[in-house]
Amino acid sequence: MQQSRNMIRSVFEGISPFREELNDMKKLISAALCVALLLCSLTAAMADDRINASFFGKNPETDRYDVNCQSAVSIGDTLYVLADGVYRWSPGDAQPVKLLGDIMTELYANETEADIQVAFSRLFTDESALYGLSIGTGDIYALNDKGDAMEAEKLIKIDISDMNTKTDSYMSFMNTAATFAREGLLYILGENQEKGDGMKLLRFDIKTGERMADVDMQGAIGLCPYKDGKLLLHTNNEKGEYDEVNDVMRPSQLFAYDPQTDTREHICDLKDGNACCVQYAPESDTVVYIRGSVVSSLPLSGGEERVSAYLAGNVWRGSDGGVCLLSCGMIAVADYEGLTLRGLDMPGVENGALVVSGEYGSEEHRAVLAARPDISVAINDSWYNDLEAITTAMLSSDAAVDVMKLDSSYSPLDKLIDKGYALCLSDYPEIMETAGRIDPRFLEPYMRDGKLYAVPCGIYANSLGYNAETLAELGLTEDDLPKTYPEFFDFVANYMYDYGEDNPDISLFQDMSVKQSLGQRYQTDYISWQLHKDGKIAFDTEVYRDALKAMADIDYKEFDPYELMGDDVWSDEETMNDYWSRPYLFTMYADASSPYQYREGNEMQPLLLSITAEDEPIVTAMLDVLIINPRTSRMEQAVTYLAEYVKHIDPARAIALFPDVNEPIVNKSYEKDKAELQKYYDGLLKSLESADAENKASLQESIDYAKKELDGYEKYKYNVSADMLEGFRTKLAPYMLAARQTPVTDYGDDGNMFYNLSQQYNSGAIDLDKYVREMDNRIRMIQLENE
């Protein structure tokens, strides 16, 4: 031992004169290794064409979300998507390329559509071959990708008619959970929706069209190709989908299913009972599945389950036909909201995602994700409405909510802001840039000491409405309409005597069960009026008592079948048909937050009423507002998300929020829509030539209607025309008041208490005087308690 040590020492002593050179060499080698490593990683990064992207969101040509993606399949790393045609996308492509158009992609393609050349509603693959399948007809097409185009060749028809239900009035199509082919055999996992007899696995020979097997697959959720000639079957838990004792979904299960022997072998349970869209990645022997907006990977050869990607919106069961994996390590989700592409296990995904609640995949949300694919967002689909639930969700150690979208009427926004559970947004210029454009009336409730804590991102209001055509039929003009609630109650009470008896074919209201909805509408506007006027609510007032008395004087049985028949009216088809078919004067629910009501020729107009003759009319508007959790660990992302979100609010829909939008908004799809209507009209004319006498009358009716629409189509040239803008800005916008949560509208005990009181009054259990006194006492005490 000592000898060998001496030997080594002597060797090193021998080279000691070269020590400096050796050190230099070491440095050189280290530097070279570093450069090599850097080059390797750069090359790898350059070779990684995986992207996070969203396509077919808002169509820039039409400015609408009008592309419905129905199906997506992959061959290697090439993706094919069925939308308004067949598209192809490969890593490196900036956009999907349309290869095949002019096809009928809708489900309702059926055998009566004789003039349609190509019609299919599903794509499927068999190794490298691409096919299209019509669920309506059973036609199978071979689709040949020619590089810059695609050829569709009808191959054969399979018999799936027993999986669809056809009646005289409608067609119900098979609900498919999986469609794919392997080794010349087509597998369809689906169920007849009408029969509701559970999932079946159908097997066909693609060449002959022969239906080779029908297997009952009760509880099956999805199916996809697996290894060794087997299929990966995803099912509900054998003990039942739902565990009622523990109030949870039981874990769903994965099996290796052998279609030859109809046997299954349990592989594992998935953690989540709501998992769906299970796919198998043979390259990594991994199962990939989706739960909500989270894509998870479960390595079958060992290893921990992990989150691999976050999608733009939630994906539900039944979307399996639009989900596929690309061999380059990506997942594609195609649904009615567009195509979402995500790289699996991209750098940074392990850090989690920005958690957003109250958001269910709105246009604004998807626009944010399309614009900022670098932000991973997970949607929390729980619904929070009370303070405890909201604050708990914010402070939770497990996936705390970072951004919340809340409703102004029912959420405790004032308390959240006052208790510091909403981040001050005034410090972020990127948010204030858009927020500063919002009407101050709708910002004021969320400001404290001149600082903003929540941003409105949507506005919804409805009011009473009147039908201008019916009004003229009664020989009345706008000036004859009531201007205040008391006048309206008086008008309704005397309607039958004044006009109804002479016009028995006209309904006073479009709606039934008017008594309750009228009471609620009045109470909502009365509360808004009081808060606006006095800053607090009181019910024991002359105004409120008089209004209730006036409402009590109305004999609802004179015009409302619900009051005569009760709940039986909903099952009395004759009464319902008679009531709905008649022209009506008023509606309880007219849109009062958009300018669309003022489109030329629109008969339904909002009827704005004031609480008293001395006041202005009132429209109570509910707002959607966004807040940021001040304790978020992703502050930068949360601020970016919120800033982008408000930047993408569609001004046409939320025009009330933006007083600076005063230029007409052009309808980008005008020409396209008009051409489609013209085509439809021409088709009707052609059909009329060959129609039999029986169908001629209804066809002529459709032709007349289409002609009328075509002649007046000019009115659709603008989404918001100058006239509509003027109508909205002068007749509606000035009277809008933001609804706030009050004890009457909260979802807790207070809200229940007031609701129960109203129910007691409506049912006659308590009289008007007691009702008013009780309401007033309670609201007064609550307000005093909160002082």
DSSP 735: G
Q: Which is nearer to other proteins, 175 or 391 (CB)?
A: 391
- Rounded-to-integer distance, Cα 223 and Cα 300, Å: 17
CB of residue 776 to other proteins, shortest distance in Å: 10
- Rounded-to-integer distance, Cα 317 and Cα 324, Å: 14
CB of residue 535 to other proteins, shortest distance in Å: 16
Q: Which is nearer to other proteins, 717 or 770 (CB)?
A: 770
Instruction: Report if residue 419 touches other proteins, rule: CB under 8 A.
Output: yes
Q: Which is nearer to other proteins, 557 or 631 (CB)?
A: 631
CB of residue 781 to other proteins, shortest distance in Å: 5
CB atoms within 10 A of CB 744: 21
**CA dihedral sign of residues 714, 715, 717, 722:** positive
Instruction: Report if residue 436 touches other proteins, rule: CB under 8 A.
Output: no
DSSP 82-129: ESSSEEEE-TT-SSPEEEE-S-B-STT--TT-TT-S-B-SEEEEETTE
Q: Which of these, 626, 635, 629, lies nearest to 394 by C-alpha position?
A: 629
Q: What share of the chain is helix, strand, coil (3-state, %, to 5)?
A: 35, 30, 35
Beta bridge partners of 123: 132
CB of residue 451 to other proteins, shortest distance in Å: 15
CB of residue 421 to other proteins, shortest distance in Å: 5
Instruction: Report if residue 451 touches other proteins, rule: CB under 8 A.
Output: no
From residue 113 to residue 152, the character string flagging contacts with other proteins as x (rule: CB under 8 A) and all else as - is ----------------------------------------
Q: Which is nearer to other proteins, 20 or 749 (CB)?
A: 749
Residue owning tokens 């290893």: 303
100 near 106, Cβ under 8 Å? no
- Rounded-to-integer distance, Cα 331 and Cα 768, Å: 62
Question: Under 8 Å CB-to-CB from 63, ≥6 apart: which residues?
Answer: 667, 668, 669, 719
CB of residue 539 to other proteins, shortest distance in Å: 13
Q: Which is nearer to other proteins, 7 or 395 (CB)?
A: 395
- Rounded-to-integer distance, Cα 512 and Cα 507, Å: 10
Instruction: Report if residue 400 touches other proteins, rule: CB under 8 A.
Output: no
Instruction: Report if residue 543 touches other proteins, rule: CB under 8 A.
Output: no
Q: Which is nearer to other proteins, 387 or 677 (CB)?
A: 387
Q: Which is nearer to other proteins, 112 or 777 (CB)?
A: 777
User: Could you tell me which stretch among 166-174, 212-220, 227-235, 417-425 binds other proteins (CB under 8 A)?
Assistant: 417-425
Instruction: Report if residue 30 touches other proteins, rule: CB under 8 A.
Output: no
Q: Which is nearer to other proteins, 219 or 751 (CB)?
A: 751
CA dihedral 112, 113, 117, 118 (to 10 degrees): -100
Instruction: Report if residue 778 touches other proteins, rule: CB under 8 A.
Output: yes
Instruction: Report if residue 392 touches other proteins, rule: CB under 8 A.
Output: no
User: Could you tell me which stretch among 136-144, 204-212, 419-427, 553-561 binds other proteins (CB under 8 A)?
Assistant: 419-427
Q: Which is nearer to other proteins, 118 or 537 (CB)?
A: 537
CB of residue 635 to other proteins, shortest distance in Å: 14
Q: What residues numbered 302-341 form the site for other proteins, per CB under 8 A?
A: none
From residue 594 to residue 633, the character string flagging contacts with other proteins as x (rule: CB under 8 A) and all else as - is ------------------------------------xx--
- Rounded-to-integer distance, Cα 278 and Cα 236, Å: 12
Ranges of beta strands (E only) in 735-777 are 736-738
Beta bridge partners of 276: 290
Q: Which is nearer to other proteins, 710 or 782 (CB)?
A: 782
Cα 132 to chain centroid, rounded = 28
CB of residue 749 to other proteins, shortest distance in Å: 5
DSSP 599: S
Instruction: Report if residue 777 touches other proteins, rule: CB under 8 A.
Output: yes
CB of residue 455 to other proteins, shortest distance in Å: 19
CB of residue 770 to other proteins, shortest distance in Å: 8
Question: Binder to other proteins among 387, 543, 569, 576 (CB under 8 A)?
Answer: 387
Q: Which is nearer to other proteins, 484 or 760 (CB)?
A: 760
CB of residue 754 to other proteins, shortest distance in Å: 10
CB atoms within 10 A of CB 669: 18
Q: Which helix (H) or strand (E) holds 767?
A: none
CA distances from 627 to 367, 618, 631 (A): 18, 27, 12
Residue owning tokens 């007849």: 192
Instruction: Report if residue 420 touches other proteins, rule: CB under 8 A.
Output: yes
Q: Which is nearer to other proteins, 42 or 395 (CB)?
A: 395
Question: Binder to other proteins among 29, 38, 40, 781 (CB under 8 A)?
Answer: 781
- Rounded-to-integer distance, Cα 327 and Cα 79, Å: 10
Instruction: Report if residue 536 touches other proteins, rule: CB under 8 A.
Output: no
User: Could you tell me which stretch among 20-28, 140-148, 415-423, 432-440 binds other proteins (CB under 8 A)?
Assistant: 415-423
Q: Mapped to the 3 state alphabet, what secondary structure does 231-264 carry?
A: EEEEECCCCCCEECCCCEECCCEEEEEECCCCEE
- Rounded-to-integer distance, Cα 411 and Cα 389, Å: 11
CB of residue 626 to other proteins, shortest distance in Å: 18
Instruction: Report if residue 645 touches other proteins, rule: CB under 8 A.
Output: no
Q: Which helix (H) or strand (E) holds 787?
A: none
Residue owning tokens 């933006």: 658
CB of residue 388 to other proteins, shortest distance in Å: 6
CA distances from 477 to 205, 411, 467, 472, 723 (A): 70, 41, 11, 6, 20
CB atoms within 10 A of CB 142: 15
CB of residue 545 to other proteins, shortest distance in Å: 18
Cα 226 to chain centroid, rounded = 32
CB of residue 638 to other proteins, shortest distance in Å: 15
Largest pairwise CA distance in the chain: 126
CB of residue 419 to other proteins, shortest distance in Å: 5
Q: Which is nearer to other proteins, 348 or 764 (CB)?
A: 764
> What SS3 state is found at 371?
helix
Beta bridge partners of 354: 377
- Rounded-to-integer distance, Cα 733 and Cα 649, Å: 18
Q: How far apart are the first and last CA of the chain?
A: 89
For residue 279, what are its two tokens? 């796919």
Q: Which is nearer to other proteins, 513 or 632 (CB)?
A: 632
- Rounded-to-integer distance, Cα 387 and Cα 748, Å: 10
CB of residue 412 to other proteins, shortest distance in Å: 9
Question: Binder to other proteins among 131, 421, 460, 526 (CB under 8 A)?
Answer: 421
For residue 23, what are its two tokens? 């050190």
Instruction: Report if residue 535 touches other proteins, rule: CB under 8 A.
Output: no
CB of residue 645 to other proteins, shortest distance in Å: 23
Question: Binder to other proteins among 388, 555, 671, 676 (CB under 8 A)?
Answer: 388
628 near 642, Cβ under 8 Å? yes
Q: Which of these, 338, 355, 411, lies nearest to 54 by C-alpha position?
A: 338
CA gyration radius, the chain: 32
Q: Which is nearer to other proteins, 630 or 659 (CB)?
A: 630
Q: What residues numbered 707-766 form the site for other proteins, per CB under 8 A?
A: 748-750, 753
Site residue total, other proteins (CB under 8 A):
22
Question: Binder to other proteins among 115, 479, 614, 785 (CB under 8 A)?
Answer: 785
Q: Which residues bind other proteins (CB under 8 A)?
A: 387-388, 391, 395, 418-421, 630-631, 748-750, 753, 777-778, 781-782, 784-787
